[in-house]
Structure 1
Amino acid sequence: MRKREKLLRIFFLFLCNGYLLFHILLKVKLLLYKTVGTIKYIIALYFDKPFIERIGLSSKLFPTPNHKNLVICVSCVSANNGLSVSLTDCIPDLHYIGDTQCFPLYWYDSNDTDIANLFNQETERPMDRYVRKDGVTDWILNTTRKQYGYKVTKEDIFYYVYGLLHSPDYRTSFATDLKKSLPRLPLVEKADDFWTFCKAGRELANLHLNYETIEPYRKCIVQFAPLTNKGDKMNYHVEKIRFGKIDSKTSDKSVIHYNHAITITGIPAEAYEYVVNGKSAIEWIMERYSITTDKKSGITNDPNDWAREHNDEKYIFNLLLRVINVSVQTVKIVKRLPKLKFK
């Protein structure tokens, strides 16, 4: 009770000074809440004291919305679904993919030398109050340069890590270790293999970060029900996306019924091989992009609301096709990765 009263006093103190609203708007950031394969739920996050007592190290990864960064996220050793890996450019939720551990490209150190002049009109810009440091150490940079050549950069190493974490050979060879500890990555013997993993990591990062702008998959067939009346428009409203049926007990994953009027056929089987957090990206979309009502609160979650608000009625439909394409391309990249043998 005392803690609650203290929080209320702080709240009204800020409110009475006309400061709270400005402060909240200043400190609101994007939070990567949950993974849906490559798809992420992004929500607004108030990220600062006094309302968050323990903000952790995320303030060093994304100190302000203007500070850009990339973070490789891996599932915790206790994850039931095995190793999951993803990439984000905003603050990840603790349970983003299981109990998430993060490895950043950069981290930011606060430069407090001018805090005394914070309210001086001539003080430095907020961007200048943080010093960017590399998440990749000088030691590993020097080691890789000796082995692969002096053109290697810290960014190359970062993408090498992301590529190698997708390697089936790595995951199989170290399956037992990955259940007990966080990933420990070897350096491959051949320079050509290093650069192949680096290139693959960049390609995978582009797919997984920019899934909303990836071209929708064009090799499947989309069947539209005939319109009843002249002047009618195709209905892209979604309630629950379902697989086709071979019989009453067996699903046909090559067929997806988007709604009563739209059916997608010819979905390749390999699209379902891209699995994150125990489920394929396509199945995450089908599960999450459906109308649901919470039993306790009675609140209805309608994914069509976002499409209506942004005047893009085909958003969910195109998103599904984009995720199919992302999945197919991810599987192709993974299958092209160099074969690895570990002693």
Structure 2
Amino acid sequence: MLDYIYAVLHSPTYRETYKEFLKIDFPRVPYPEDAEKFWKLVKLGGELRSIHLLESPLVEDFITSYPIDGDNVITRKITRTSPGYEPKQEILKQVTIDEENKTSNQNVSARSEVTKQSVTAETGKVWINDTQYFENVPKTAWEFYIGGYQPAQKWLKDRKGRKLSFEDILHYQKIIVALTETHRLMQEIDKIEIIHED
């Protein structure tokens, strides 16, 4: 039930339909229409929960890099006028997935699709100081909101003036994967018709 509810609460259509109720009260969770939809949502909700807890193996498959050595101190102030994010001018080429090499494992197949989407999405550099940055950060991850916060930005803002450890650098890259995966899974959840007439 937890994974079902978790999936429903991450549906963009559900959030738009019930946005006024979500601001003031406990959200209404629709009763599942049929068993097939229920189990699809349970699966997607479980994946999403695992990613948010950074327990999914997917978060270890970094889509970003941290290519420049330096002191690793966050000095870049992230504001509206100085966002810290520098988009690439061109969109990268789409990766073609070889149909013969697809496995029956749905997680691997889903990850292949994410790789395809991430490579075609607008990416950029997230600067932490004047010389160091995280490369290939998808714009969707950088701008993604959870509640009133943008986690990819807030995490850096909360550490301004601090030196990032090796573990911090890895952790931030996991956050970027988690946000990118969250965006993808929310689109998958929205393909399943959750809201129906009572």
1:217 aligns with 2:71: no
Query: What is the SS of the residue equivalent to 2:24?
Result: coil
Correspondence for 2:48 among 204, 219, 239: 204
Supply the distance in 1 between the matched residues of 2:84 and 2:127 (Cα, whole angstroms): 15
Identity of aligned residues (%): 21
1:52-85 CA-to-partner distances (Å, cap 9, x unmatched) read xxxxxxxxxxxxxxxxxxxxxxxxxxxxxxxxxx
Q: What letter matches 1:208 in structure 2? A: H
1:277 aligns with 2:122: no
Whose RCO is larger (CA < 8 A, sep 6+)? 2
CA 1:187/1:274 → structure 2, altered by over 3 Å: closer, same or farther?
farther
Correspondence for 1:191 among 15, 21, 35: 35
Query: What is the SS of the residue equivalent to 1:264?
Result: strand
Instruction: Name the counterpart of 2:172.
Output: 320
CA 1:251/1:222 → structure 2, altered by over 3 Å: closer, same or farther?
closer
Query: Is this contact kept in 2: 1:211–1:326, CA < 8 A?
Result: no
Query: What is the SS of the residue equivalent to 2:175?
Result: helix
Shift of 1:204: 1.2
Supply the distance in 2 between the matched residues of 1:287 and 1:320 (Cα, whole angstroms): 12
Instruction: Name the counterpart of 1:289.
Output: 159
Query: What is the SS of the residue equivalent to 2:32?
Result: coil
CA 1:335/1:319 → structure 2, altered by over 3 Å: closer, same or farther?
same
CA 1:236/1:277 → structure 2, altered by over 3 Å: closer, same or farther?
farther
Shift of 1:250: 9.4
Query: Is this contact kept in 1: 2:14–2:194, CA < 8 A?
Result: yes
Supply the distance in 2 between the matched residues of 1:261 and 1:249 (Cα, whole angstroms): 16
Supply the distance in 2 between the matched residues of 1:194 and 1:249 (Cα, whole angstroms): 40
Shift of 1:267: 1.7
CA 1:212/1:167 → structure 2, altered by over 3 Å: closer, same or farther?
closer
Bigger helix share: 2
CA 1:290/1:216 → structure 2, altered by over 3 Å: closer, same or farther?
farther
Query: Is this contact kept in 2: 1:274–1:330, CA < 8 A?
Result: no
Instruction: Name the counterpart of 1:329.
Output: 181
Matches within 5 A, 1:122-161: 157-161=1-5
Query: Is this contact kept in 2: 1:271–1:327, CA < 8 A?
Result: yes
Supply the distance in 2 between the matched residues of 1:289 and 1:339 (Cα, whole angstroms): 41
Shift of 1:318: 1.4
1:235 aligns with 2:70: yes
TM-score (norm 1): 0.41
Query: What is the SS of the residue equivalent to 2:52?
Result: helix
Shift of 1:242: 5.3
Correspondence for 2:133 among 263, 270, 283: 263
| Cα-Cα RMSD | 3.1
Supply the distance in 1 between the matched residues of 2:132 and 2:151 (Cα, whole angstroms): 20
1:85-119 CA-to-partner distances (Å, cap 9, x unmatched) read xxxxxxxxxxxxxxxxxxxxxxxxxxxxxxxxxxx
CA 1:216/1:258 → structure 2, altered by over 3 Å: closer, same or farther?
farther
Supply the distance in 2 between the matched residues of 1:282 and 1:171 (Cα, whole angstroms): 21
Q: Which runs of 5 or more structure 1 residues have no equivalent in the other structure?
A: 1-156, 225-233, 292-301, 308-312
